[in-house]
Chains A and B, each alone.
Chain A
Amino acid sequence: MTLSISELEEFARKCRVEIVKMVYRAQAGHPGGSLSEIDLISALYATRMRVRPNQPKWDDRDRFILSKGHASPGMYAVLAEMGFISHEDLHSYRVLGGKCQGHVDMKWCPGVDFSAGSLGMGLSFGLGCAVAARLDNSERRTFVMLGDGELQEGSVWEAAMAAAHHEVGNLKVILDRNRIQNDDFCEVQMRMFDIPAKWRSFGWEVKEIDGHNMEEVMSGLDFLESTNDKPSILIAHTIKGAGVSFMEDNPSFHGAAPNDEQFAQAMAELGEVIA
């Protein structure tokens, strides 16, 4: 799919609206990390992912692994825009029997390739998918989205080490560096010091971008697609809650729903007219 920068921005805006609506309807969920990741996932799916929405289990599809699986509203919104699920399905978010489980789940939702929930697990799973592609002599790629808070899980670094050791160049990571985790800012909870240097020292190719500037996002995805001899990571500096003023940079909206008044304000800020 070829979309202009302004079309991508509109794609992401529509997803932002759906994210806030999902969390508002459920009165639960994780808006902050969904809003920080959404420009990245929108651009990835709309312009890079080799997938077939009408054939979600197509063997040679690219895989997208949302390791920060609590930020599921962002992924569901994109899957709906892409046509894997309907916009009506978004009403099933956190509802009994719904495709849109609280955390993304491959057993429940078409287009989801990983059952997430516990942090620190997606990179290892993606590594397995990427190794499988190599064994199959397939060109398919595996993209993994990590949150910055989950870098505190030791198992992430087991996977980082193994991916570099095995030179798994078809494994491509996007880090949503929104600087906030559940309880507070990362700087308060557990300082991670020089994150780019950590990945470089583990043997990865690293690039940093502004994760809300669509031009930079596109050049960052170019970087991931062109790095094939070793694993690569795009560190996207983002703002938690981006696009909704009272959620931005606010740890309170990691995992909280807006009330009626806040919902109306969010819709207005996102340019959505509510009848």
Chain B
Amino acid sequence: MSEMAATRDGYGQALLEIADNPKVVVMEADLGKSTKSLHFRKKYPTRTISCGIGEQNMLLAGAGLAASGYIPFASTFAIFTERAFEQMRNGVARPNLAVHLCGSHGGTHTGTDGSSAQSIEDLAIYRTLPNVVVMHPSDYVSTLELTKQLPGLDKPSYMRTARNKTPVMYRGRESEIIIGKGITLCQGTDVAIIACGVLVSESMKAAEQLADKGINATVVDMHTLKPLDGDLINSLVAQCGAIVTAEDHNVIGGLGGAVAEHLVSNHYAPLEMVGVADRFGESGQSDEMLEVMKINSKYIEQAAHRAIARKS
């Protein structure tokens, strides 16, 4: 069985690896054990600021630190970052202060905590903020590598990580992981599946299922939703002529929305969006939730057939 690890652990490890930069500070809102910033806190307590259960204060205190030359990494559950949305908008994004916000436990994949904890809108809302880079990496290694690039970004970011383990895919491929550049995981000419986060590995499974039926799919890990890798999408349109997007997020405003926005203004190809169908979740195991939400490999495969059938 392939190696499994949680993206949130990649985030926690990355904080340790960038700690040599004395300007890196960590901010917590009583969930460091869960988001995995706790390892940094234990090693660098004076550079870790506990904000209690107060996300609004955390974001703005981070803005004050960023305005004073520090590079704050603030984390909590994806859903709780949303409580501080206006602070992110007015206090961080508007003055373009490089506060790096990480929302862990995003999506329905989060599981048994139920619908209140399953953010299905975080990627959409942060994508609407000028200056903010939005990412949702798929595995431990890519989360680690993307996080390590953030101190050099000089603008704010939002990254969603996942609670539960996903297959590790990028051992030895670290150099391919660059903010804003999608990664092609397999090449085919019949259909292109563009996925992010926990649905990247589901898309790889879907590609195998399609291959069994003689259909060759390209799979792209679009870990950065903003800025979107438009050049890559254009090449996928030319190469495959049919697109599927896959995300553990509302179909409104997330990866599917971003790709749709790009397609209608550029070279067009039929698009089928796999995502949460504008509904809330419930308590369930991760695999059960992907089935309930109709977003696992089976549904990605079905979407690929539909997209191919729509080719003119």
Contact = CB atoms under 8 A, between A and B. Distances in A.
Given A121-B90, A124-B61, A128-B62, A158 B51 contact: yes
B86 interface: yes
B64 A135 contact: no
A155 interface: yes
Given A128-B61, A155-B87, A106 B67 contact: yes
Nearest to B94: A115
A58 B70 CA distance: 16
Interface stretch (A36-44, A78-86, A161-169, A196-204): A161-169
B61 A125 contact: yes
A117 interface: yes
Interface string B87-110: 100110011100000000000000
Contacts of A107: 94-96
A159 interface: yes
A158 B64 contact: no
Interface string A144-172: 00000000001100110110011000000
A165 B52 CA distance: 10
B268 to A, nearest CB: 38
Nearest to B90: A118
Interface in A13-72: 59
Contact of B64 (A105, A132, A155): A132
Nearest to B72: A128
A59 B47 CA distance: 20
B130 interface: no
B47 A135 contact: yes
Contact of A135 (B51, B67, B70, B95): B70
A127 interface: yes
Contact of A155 (B57, B66, B69): B57
Chain B interface size range = 20 to 34
A115 B64 CA distance: 11
B116 to A, nearest CB: 20
B67 A113 contact: yes
A128 B67 contact: yes
B224 interface: no
28 contacts: A107-B95, A115-B95, A118-B86, A118-B90, A121-B87, A121-B91, A124-B56, A124-B57, A124-B59, A127-B57, A127-B60, A127-B61, A128-B67, A129-B65, A129-B67, A135-B70, A154-B56, A155-B54, A155-B57, A158-B52, A158-B54, A158-B57, A159-B54, A159-B60, A161-B54, A162-B50, A162-B57, A165-B52
